Amino acid sequence: MKTRNRRQKTEDRRPRTEDRKADTQDTKPRVRLGLSRVGITNLRTLIQTTWRGHTFRFTPEVEVTIDLTSERKGVHMSRLIEAITQTLEDEAQKPGRSIEEIERRILERLLERHQYRRGDVRMTTDLIVFKRTPVSLKKTMESHRVVVTVTKEGARFTKRLKVTVLGNTVCPHSMLTAKKPHIQRAIGELEVETAYDTYVSLEDMIKCVEKSFSAEVYTLLKTEDEKQVVKNMFENPKFVEDVVRDMLRNAKRTLPKCRIRAKAISQESIHRHDVIAEGTITT
Amino acid sequence: MKTRNRRQKTEDRRPRTEDRKADTQDTKPRVRLGLSRVGITNLRTLIQTTWRGHTFRFTPEVEVTIDLTSERKGVHMSRLIEAITQTLEDEAQKPGRSIEEIERRILERLLERHQYRRGDVRMTTDLIVFKRTPVSLKKTMESHRVVVTVTKEGARFTKRLKVTVLGNTVCPHSMLTAKKPHIQRAIGELEVETAYDTYVSLEDMIKCVEKSFSAEVYTLLKTEDEKQVVKNMFENPKFVEDVVRDMLRNAKRTLPKCRIRAKAISQESIHRHDVIAEGTITT
Amino acid sequence: MKTRNRRQKTEDRRPRTEDRKADTQDTKPRVRLGLSRVGITNLRTLIQTTWRGHTFRFTPEVEVTIDLTSERKGVHMSRLIEAITQTLEDEAQKPGRSIEEIERRILERLLERHQYRRGDVRMTTDLIVFKRTPVSLKKTMESHRVVVTVTKEGARFTKRLKVTVLGNTVCPHSMLTAKKPHIQRAIGELEVETAYDTYVSLEDMIKCVEKSFSAEVYTLLKTEDEKQVVKNMFENPKFVEDVVRDMLRNAKRTLPKCRIRAKAISQESIHRHDVIAEGTITT
Amino acid sequence: MKTRNRRQKTEDRRPRTEDRKADTQDTKPRVRLGLSRVGITNLRTLIQTTWRGHTFRFTPEVEVTIDLTSERKGVHMSRLIEAITQTLEDEAQKPGRSIEEIERRILERLLERHQYRRGDVRMTTDLIVFKRTPVSLKKTMESHRVVVTVTKEGARFTKRLKVTVLGNTVCPHSMLTAKKPHIQRAIGELEVETAYDTYVSLEDMIKCVEKSFSAEVYTLLKTEDEKQVVKNMFENPKFVEDVVRDMLRNAKRTLPKCRIRAKAISQESIHRHDVIAEGTITT
């Protein structure tokens, strides 16, 4: 098997300072059970990507996990770290085009150092998007939480992309009955799962969410912009249920074939609790 | 269908102040998609249970969600709240024996007020367990995070119970090579999924986790107790992988038939990041 | 000095199992600096209070700290824990009337076991308050985060009480210019500092905050209640600055003499960021 | 007064689209109380600094607050945002040398747009520091949380710098009595307050904290490195009290004159709760 051969060679290359015989990780565990995910989490590092001539830098939280057979006591955690650090050193010479490309390289590097059948690399970071305010057209920077995960299962790579975007809901029921709605901040989450090679842009995903709220929100708003945002709100009253359905529909229309999960949480202004809605479709 | 008949009657009993015609929730949504989970979350309330003559009080965080067909715009959120508050009022007269019993009653109450096919009630709270310290035998109170979820799907009730318990790991590799291990706090999570009627004790689940660490931990430790705990640590070096395997084995041995998920996170004392392991079995 | 005498006796009573000579804590530290706060934190326990014939149970997060002179290496942490557990055992016989009474007893108990000049006990918990909805007059339970701290400095006891209460803000500027305001959830924090013997009710503090928002919020709201809450909102547009000023004024009017700090955070529905205001007065 | 004149001119330059007469913020508040801090918080943006020829990029969380007199109802929040965005646009041409330099510019920009006597800009971000592992000398990236605050009070600028650094404690008491210590991760916080012009390096502050733990920690550790770290641990048993005293002493020795606050939290491996110590000195 190709994977095994590749590993074989790497084993030989491993530094002599790590004496195989002494490695507790390679002994048999007392309880013979395989584990699905073993690795490191909450690691913060610095990565850079280059896309259309621009360099982007992120300091994501990273999680790397692999499966473990019932015949091995433990994972060599330092090899997971080395797969990350050496991939990042390569980036200094030849930066990846995207977070998922760097994650794929980490998984490939790791396979040269450690046996596994299924592995995951996940990075969570903030993505800054530049926008113009709706009326005064001033430049504004908007920040969104993104999570990018690449999974290698046997020879197959898949990916999951998730964006968390802020917006709002305007209650259609109180709008209808009293013309006076309650309004509140809402959080939209859109996650897609697809083949590694399918191109899905995080920016497109963010737009799918933004367009599903009663109104888009902005960091900077001059008085005339604020009036427009509030006007949009009153013209688009929506339950969280509507936000989720619109996220699913927007994602279906604009993104390539994938499995889509959408969730919205409304931080109710008339209640202490939150309201949620969730739905999934496969396109 | 029984469910529907039951609902029919309830509809008639609904207070007249809520005019059916004005209810935006009951109109057709613009985007015809069914949603899997719609409801309220992060609600804090007060519940009490009575078990073996003792009354227990909790102030859990509550989440209640139901599915929604593609033909209805929204869920009547106030009926979800009423299902909770009226169940809790009943408790004053006749307290449930467990959190899951109260959750089941909420789901049943809710069905009298709102149509759904699948519904979930989840409560997250702290469970206090009384213990004796290992040598001085002093009384000590230990607190553990528990999550109890009851699901109704059609006529069938199932439940998920999860406990989060603190302990520690002592590195077996550094113990072996240098007699000097690094030691750290670790977090164990054990979750079981089973039929509603299968009796699973949260206290038994907590014990399964506690016994899987290098040593059990205590809120109060006199010098002689502390010596014992540290002695236990040095005699039981464990990777997180070992902790997870022991949690699975302990759960398999002591709990009734169920699906079991175990996870351990080690807050490494020699690293900035954490180490994790996860596994699942069905017994 | 009375305190010292009292301590003297306690020292003699200390169990023999803890050998004074072996206690590293009592040696001189290498760096001779006194410390202001040393102790335990994030401890979860179970306490009960009895007030007007009712028993209340809480599982607060507890922090206990004392100062440490430059001549002692460390604090005997287990004595802090014992001061807590033994005070709580007393409660089984004779429950305190309030959280602060229990905290005072912990500080007194602790002085019998450990020398200190300044000590603090802080408990953070959820307080459930019963209310009626504004129109349908249904019973509803509302939960608020409270923090109660008692400080002993020499012979003097003082206390700090803090409540965190949810509500909302309705923008007066957009209300004025367009009749269409943006509305959002807001968080109000009110903290008072006063002598231990001054009676301040947490419930009164909560009311001071609730009345400062554009409208009070409720866990349960039937349609007619919701209309009233939204009506209140539109009739009381407020900036966070207004909310803070009203909290300070309400506290000044209804609470006894004390130092008051008020803070409001508005989770803007038109922005990704939050808006805050803070102010203090001494009455 | 210079400040007022400067403001005067700016007022005239303000865009006409914002009609002074309509500005609710400039009316008198109903309750005449001045507020100490009013502004925006939890804003995420992108900043870059240039230092010794290198460009650093951060996406900090930003808080900007100013005081408000009893004669003005509210702060013009959009001007706070504009002070940030326009300072950041300048950076594209002429990047600041440090986070505090950018914060000072924001405060100066803001004074051209909004009257205040006291203003604060605070940024919270992750700082990546490159290190070599102790024995194998491999390159490793370490991430630390930093908070940088610049305050303008009248004409005077001051700053506060805070670093949060991970390490560990090894119990000296159990080490002494049983040669078997309990060990755990610990968190060190060091904060200094000084004049704006006093140069304090965040990297030096991080070193002060790292050297105060039982051992420094690393993201990457090969077996031989890990042995060295564990050896360091066993040779340097420390209570959190010792960690705080060493942080204060290290800061006193290596940093310029300032007020220093140090705090350590130990995530006990034998307890469910944490242990803390805090101290302050002025050098």
Task: Say how far apart CA B220 and CA C88 lie, in whole Å.
Answer: 13
Indicate the range of A251-255, B184-188, C53-57 predicted with least confidence: C53-57
Residue D22 binned pLDDT confidence (cut-offs 50, 70, 90): low
Left if phi > 0, otherwise alpha if psi is -120 to 50, otherwise beta: which for C179?
Answer: left
Domains and CATH numbers, chain C: 1-116 (no CATH), 122-283 (3.10.270.10)
| Contacts with B, A 4-33, CB within 8 Å | 22-25, 29-31, 33
Task: Say how far apart CA C224 and CA D131 lie, in whole Å.
Answer: 64
Contact yes or no for B271 and D217 at CB 8 A: yes
What was the pLDDT predicted at D83? 96
Report yes or no: B45 and C141 within 8 Å, Cβ to Cβ: yes
Question: Letter for the amino acid at D42?
Answer: N
Paired residues of C166 in beta bridges = C187
- A222-246: pLDDT as tens digits: 989 999 999 999 999 999 999 999 9
Report yes or no: B148 and B106 within 8 Å, Cβ to Cβ: no
pLDDT at D14 over 50: no
**DSSP conformation letters of B154-197:** TTEEEEEEEEEEEEEEE-HHHHHHHS---EEEEEEEEEEEEETT
Report yes or no: C119 and C130 within 8 Å, Cβ to Cβ: no
Task: Say how far apart CA A233 and CA C181 lie, in whole Å.
Answer: 10
Six-digit token pair at B131?
A: 């213990």
What was the pLDDT predicted at A99? 94
Interface test with A, best of D45, D129, D221 (most A CBs within 10 A): D45
Q: In this structure, is the dihedral angle defined by the CA atoms of residues A37, A42, A43 and A46, taken in order, positive or negative? A: positive
Contact yes or no for A77 and B29 at CB 8 A: no
Task: Say how far apart CA C37 and CA C122 lie, in whole Å.
Answer: 13
Report residue D274: phi and psi, to 5°. Answer: -105, 160
**DSSP conformation letters of A194-241:** EETTS---HHHHHHHHHTTSSS---S---HHHHHHHHHHHHHS---HH
pLDDT at C51 over 90: no
**What is the number of other CB atoms lying within 10 angstroms of the CB of residue A253?**
9
C189, containing H or E segment: strand C183-195
Paired residues of D56 in beta bridges = D49
- D228-244: pLDDT as tens digits: 999 999 999 999 999 99
ipTM: 0.90
Contact yes or no for D219 and B178 at CB 8 A: no
Report residue A165: phi and psi, to 5°. Answer: -130, 140
CA distance C37 to chain D (A): 5
pLDDT at C110 over 90: yes
- D70-113: pLDDT as tens digits: 999 999 999 999 999 999 888 767 777 899 999 999 999 999 99
* First-to-last C-alpha distance (Å) of chain C: 34
Say yes or no: D183 contacts chain B, CB-CB below 8 A: yes
Q: In percent, how much of chain A has pLDDT > 70?
A: 92
Report yes or no: D116 and D110 within 8 Å, Cβ to Cβ: yes
Strands (E), C87-182: 118-132, 139-153, 156-170
D212, containing H or E segment: none
Report yes or no: B146 and B161 within 8 Å, Cβ to Cβ: yes
**Helices within D35-76 (DSSP H only):** none
CA distance B84 to chain A (A): 13
Q: Of B35, B39, B177, which is closest to A244 when you measure between CB atoms?
A: B35
* Angle made by CA atoms D157, D161, D167, in degrees to the nearest 5: 175
Contact yes or no for B23 and A249 at CB 8 A: no
Q: In this structure, is the dihedral angle defined by the CA atoms of residues D96, D99, D104 and D110, taken in order, positive or negative? A: positive
Q: In percent, how much of chain D has pLDDT > 90?
A: 82
What was the pLDDT predicted at D15? 41
CA distance C43 to chain D (A): 5
Task: Say how far apart CA C243 and CA C105 lie, in whole Å.
Answer: 36
Distance, C-alpha C87 to centroid of its chain? 19
Place of tokens 């790579």: A157
Task: Say how far apart CA D29 and CA D31 lie, in whole Å.
Answer: 5
Length of chain A (residues): 283
- B11-60: pLDDT as tens digits: 334 444 444 456 899 999 999 999 999 999 999 999 988 877 788 889 99
Residue that wins the pLDDT comparison between A178 and C249: C249
Task: Say how far apart CA A264 and CA A240 lie, in whole Å.
Answer: 6
Which residues in chain C have Cβ-Cβ distances shorter than 8 Å to D177? Answer: 22
DSSP single-letter state for residue D217: -
Kindly list the partner chains of chain A, i.e. chains with 3 or more CB atom pairs below 8 Å. B, C, D
What was the pLDDT predicted at B70? 97
Q: Of A31, A177, A245, which is closest to B31 when you measure between CB atoms?
A: A245
What was the pLDDT predicted at A195? 97
Say yes or no: A139 contacts chain D, CB-CB below 8 A: yes
Indicate the range of A14-18, B134-138, C225-229 predicted with least confidence: A14-18
Left if phi > 0, otherwise alpha if psi is -120 to 50, otherwise beta: which for B128?
Answer: beta
Say yes or no: A239 contacts chain B, CB-CB below 8 A: yes
* Whole-number average pLDDT of chain D: 91
Report yes or no: B99 and B49 within 8 Å, Cβ to Cβ: yes
**What is the number of other CB atoms lying within 10 angstroms of the CB of residue A49?**
18
Task: Say how far apart CA D138 and CA D123 lie, in whole Å.
Answer: 31
Task: Say how far apart CA D123 and CA D121 lie, in whole Å.
Answer: 7
Six-digit token pair at D205?
A: 């502050």
- D190-223: pLDDT as tens digits: 999 999 999 999 999 999 999 999 999 999 999 8
At B93 the three-state DSSP class reads helix
Task: Say how far apart CA A271 and CA C140 lie, in whole Å.
Answer: 11
pLDDT at A187 over 70: yes
**What is the number of other CB atoms lying within 10 angstroms of the CB of residue C12?**
7
Report yes or no: D85 and A139 within 8 Å, Cβ to Cβ: yes
With CA atoms as reference, the chain C residue closest to A181 would be C230
Task: Say how far apart CA B174 and CA B170 lie, in whole Å.
Answer: 9
The predicted model gives A4-28 an average pLDDT of 54
The predicted model gives C146-175 an average pLDDT of 97
Q: Of C219, C227, C269, which is closest to A183 when you measure between CB atoms?
A: C269
pLDDT at A1 over 70: no
Say yes or no: B227 contacts chain A, CB-CB below 8 A: no
Say yes or no: B223 contacts chain C, CB-CB below 8 A: yes
Residues 6+ apart with CB under 8 A from A168: A183, A184, A185, A186, A213, A214, A215, A217, A233, C182, C184, C269, C270
Place of tokens 């309004």: A183
With CA atoms as reference, the chain D residue closest to B166 would be D272
- B220-244: pLDDT as tens digits: 999 899 999 999 999 999 999 999 9
Residue C57 binned pLDDT confidence (cut-offs 50, 70, 90): confident
At C173 the three-state DSSP class reads helix
What was the pLDDT predicted at A22? 62
What was the pLDDT predicted at B15? 41
Residue B83 binned pLDDT confidence (cut-offs 50, 70, 90): very high
CA distances in angstroms from D180 to A170, B123, B179, C73, listed in the order given: 61, 41, 10, 20
CA distance C24 to chain D (A): 5
pLDDT at B8 over 90: no
Contact yes or no for B272 and D166 at CB 8 A: yes
Which residues in chain A have Cβ-Cβ distances shorter than 8 Å to B271? Answer: 40
Report residue A83: phi and psi, to 5°. Answer: -60, -35
- B134-153: pLDDT as tens digits: 999 999 999 999 999 999 99
Say yes or no: D217 contacts chain A, CB-CB below 8 A: no
Please state the pTM of the whole predicted model: 0.92
Question: Letter for the amino acid at D190?
Answer: L
Paired residues of A43 in beta bridges = A62
Say yes or no: A74 contacts chain B, CB-CB below 8 A: yes
At D157 the three-state DSSP class reads strand
With CA atoms as reference, the chain C residue closest to A177 would be C227
The predicted model gives A46-62 an average pLDDT of 87
The predicted model gives C4-22 an average pLDDT of 42
pLDDT at B6 over 70: no
Kindly list the partner chains of chain C, i.e. chains with 3 or more CB atom pairs below 8 Å. A, B, D
Q: In percent, how much of chain C has pLDDT > 70?
A: 92
- C233-254: pLDDT as tens digits: 999 999 999 999 999 999 999 9
The predicted model gives B59-76 an average pLDDT of 97
Report yes or no: B78 and B23 within 8 Å, Cβ to Cβ: no
- A63-87: pLDDT as tens digits: 999 999 999 999 999 999 999 999 9
At C178 the three-state DSSP class reads helix
Paired residues of C118 in beta bridges = C153
Say yes or no: A187 contacts chain B, CB-CB below 8 A: no
CA distance D161 to chain A (A): 20
Report yes or no: C219 and C248 within 8 Å, Cβ to Cβ: no
